[in-house]
Structure 1
């Protein structure tokens, strides 16, 4: 969905806009006074149109903020942490020590996981 000018912006959009202003400042396109004025305008902006107006006279080499992609969660870390806990609980409740073998087996699997991921790419 394309962003409409009246779309409200969030803190992440403001942070990206501020970083873009820093890049323009570092490239010499803005003076210190202009940078301060535009940063204040970014802080006060509430819509995409207000944010776009701040960048209207600057080249598109640094794009105004775009919506960020959601980070992906690495479930292997969660499983690596929970596996020993589950193994100990199951071994204690069943009275069978064989379940404790899941701990070193899981450790070996998660140690080899980065290599397996590289081969798959």
Structure 2
């Protein structure tokens, strides 16, 4: 909302106030009757002071939490390599072939190196 208490409000500010009141109703801070009274007042409000008076006895909305860090696709390759290594180990036990164990060694050695190599390849300034 605007800084000045006597400033006129927009439709968007009224709608935001109604959403905040609905959140307080959902959290159990308002009864249905109290919500209806405040919603009617918010709908008829013309200044920021009128809207602010609706929230004097209610806690402020919590600050939005930080967005989660973006997923690193290189880690997905490492996880898939680890799963493939476990699968190769199972195949080696089931069929007794030594080539499956060779695949296991290759996957276990390359899996930790793969995320670093992919990050280096996608580093800024590199083609």
Larger Rg: 2
What TM-score results when the alignment is normalised by the length of structure 2?
0.47
What TM-score results when the alignment is normalised by the length of structure 1?
0.49
Q: Relative contact order (C-alpha < 8 Å, sep 6+): which is higher? A: 1
